[in-house]
Copies of this chain bind each other. A is one copy, B any other.
């Protein structure tokens, strides 16, 4: 391995000088810089990151933590997409990113501990928000730089987070359904433990209220992702005395399952029932019908979190922030006008 010493020797300067050249220190003469750089190139010198990390006690690396149900969760295109968003900024700032790989909460907690105590990373991005979460609490207590994607359950003013305005998004998309003449609108959401679900549901509710429509408890269904989840939700729906004509589904992936089961049950979308959802993952344009959905700009969510986290790691004194990434409804064809009836 070519070290700084080799370069120094080859150039006839001291190691410290070489180090300064690497840092592009202004008080090194252009001439020596030139010579040192030439030698580095010739010898094929590359800095050893561990030595550097050790000396400056910083790593230029950030850790990305997936939710503990990672096996299922990772199936949601949301995650690859947000990873890309994070990657785009870590890459441009020459940071590297380390992914959590644990499955159980316990495993992940241990990984986080190692990351923090072992100086693996300078900061952490949490890809979920959970009530009373051990990892969140740990990071918060230790005062370790981290940002959360989503809304924190506690200490929201002290925890930097980047989120959408899911309440408003839920309201707007439900409004749209109402504008199209629908009055019986049901909500199908993911886990009630997740703030996203709650926020979107609250928006749905508010839209109904504002329009003077009743909110029925049987019209609010909570379920899992994928096929099984879709089945369950659709069965519940079909068993209702009065079938809704509109459906607000809190995640495109759930919509997929719902769509599939609906078709199996002979209910056609959008002619029998209209459906809208959230996220605008790439799948939502391939489904039949293509989904009208809220684009939450997943990539941007990731990019913003990485950006603010890095800011935070370089200057630990900056105050906690909330960053809201704007959303936008994407109109496709999973809705039909109800006015005609």
Contacts and interface: CB of A to CB of B under 8 A. Distances in A.
A50 interface: yes
A170 interface: no
A288 B57 CA distance: 54
Interface residues of A, number: 56
Given A80-B80, A91-B101, A286-B227, A46 B260 contact: no
Contacts of A283: 256, 283
A63 to B, nearest CB: 9
A102 B285 CA distance: 26
A272 to B, nearest CB: 16
B260 A49 contact: no
A97 B98 contact: yes
A90 interface: yes
Interface string A216-230: 000000000011001
A256 B286 contact: yes
A15 interface: no
A95 to B, nearest CB: 9
Contacts of A80: 74-75, 79-80
A77 B50 CA distance: 34
Most chain B beta-carbon contacts within 10 A, residue among A50, A51, A283: A50
Interface string A84-95: 101110110000
B118 A48 contact: yes
A111 interface: yes
Given A50-B53, A75-B77, A264-B288, 17 more contacts: A46-B117, A49-B119, A50-B50, A54-B54, A74-B81, A74-B84, A75-B80, A75-B81, A77-B77, A86-B101, A87-B100, A91-B101, A91-B103, A96-B101, A99-B99, A226-B282, A260-B286
Interface of A: 46-51, 53-54, 57, 59, 61, 70-71, 74-75, 77, 79-81, 83-84, 86-88, 90-91, 96-103, 107, 111, 113-114, 117-120, 226-227, 230, 256-257, 260, 263-264, 282-283, 285-288
10 contacts: A46-B114, A47-B118, A49-B119, A50-B57, A50-B59, A61-B98, A75-B80, A87-B101, A227-B285, A227-B286
